[in-house]
Amino acid sequence: MSYIELKDITKSYHAGNNILEQINLTIEKGEFFVLVGPSGSGKSTLLRMIAGLEDITDGVLKMNEKVVNHLQPKDRNLSMVFQNYALYPHLSVEQNILFGLKAKKVSKAEQQKRLKETAEMMGLSELLDRKPRQLSGGQRQRVALARSVVSEAPLCLMDEPLSNLDAKLRAQMRVEIRRLQKQLGLTLIYVTHDQVEAMTMGDRIMVLNDGEIQQVGKPITLYNEPANLFVASFIGSPKMNMGKTEIKDVSNFLVNKTLSFSADVRMQKAFQVHKNIIAGIRPEHIQPAIHQEATHSLEVIHVEQLGNETSLALDVGGELWTAKWPGQWDITAGNQLEVYISTEHLSFFDAQTEALIRPASFSGHGEVQAI
């Protein structure tokens, strides 16, 4: 049984101008579900509709099989964590955490019981007497999370809660939020524009663009089998390299008028159906020609040494492509670089519809290795 169900959900502020267009979606109980997309895609609006903070123009929203379209937020048995923490500056950490429970007239004994358990869980026991201005950004975010946890609501909605934190704290809080969600058995709907957060935290991801669902699935599925060019370019960091494909003859094709490949039987059939094709390849699949014979020689435009990996900007027919190699490589910009690119690592998209024609078919595609 689905815990949350959206049927043909539409949002419009002006007639004929839909912010969200017929969203159909189910979210299971205990699932960590991520809404991801660029600014203006409608993800925060959708979250606010689930919370009851925005009216639903059309469609049906169900929670536990009950229609909740017209229920007030306080009657939906959920909690929310916002981007700006929404802490009361004149109240202490303890008072901020307990604010919602006091509003619901929960007994003082129960309040203190929940406070003690939550503060210990969130590492806030020593900070309960402080005011928000005396806390770091990470500590304020923990208070906002604690206020949500202490409510014991089974559904938690989070709207870009980590965007105000620095990179180190974001990584730490990603782990913390995921741990809490599992520990408490929460159904959690998480909005972000950061695809790294989406990939590392979600059980499933929904990619939104211009108010329409582009794809829903497990993070690794969206990475390996993007439904279209938008998902392919949005999911993955650095993004997938893209290039126009030209058919030289039945068995050969060019990418960006530079990279020459032989076409297997599957590709030959695809070329007969699709005349305009975009080829895509992930940065980690442009490999150094060490253990394999070089297939192409490319000019190095820029080198970034990141310590644990090396990022290379390469000239491919006048366009910059990115290669990402593990470890440290002594490579100089301006030199020619011998690389190995296999057709098995190429994904193909229809240039007109932008839909996926064929995903990369390398060994182990779509599977996570067990250890």
**pLDDT tens digits along 154-198:** 999 999 988 888 888 888 889 989 988 998 899 999 999 998 899
Cross-strand partners of 115: none
Q: Which of 33, 144, 132 is nearest to 81 (CA)?
A: 144
Residue 1 has pLDDT above 80, yes or no: no
Query: pLDDT band at 366, cuts 50/70/90?
Result: very low
Question: What confidence tens digit (pLDDT) does each residue in 107-145 have?
Answer: 999 999 999 999 988 889 999 999 999 998 889 988 998
13-22, 280-289, 300-309, range with the lowest pLDDT: 13-22
- Is the pLDDT assigned to residue 101 strictly greater than 70? yes
How confident is the prediction for the chain on average, in pLDDT?
91
- Confidence grade of residue 72 (pLDDT, cut at 50, 70, 90): very high
The pTM of this model reads 0.89
Domains and CATH numbers, the chain: 2-226 (3.40.50.300), 238-358 (2.40.50.140)
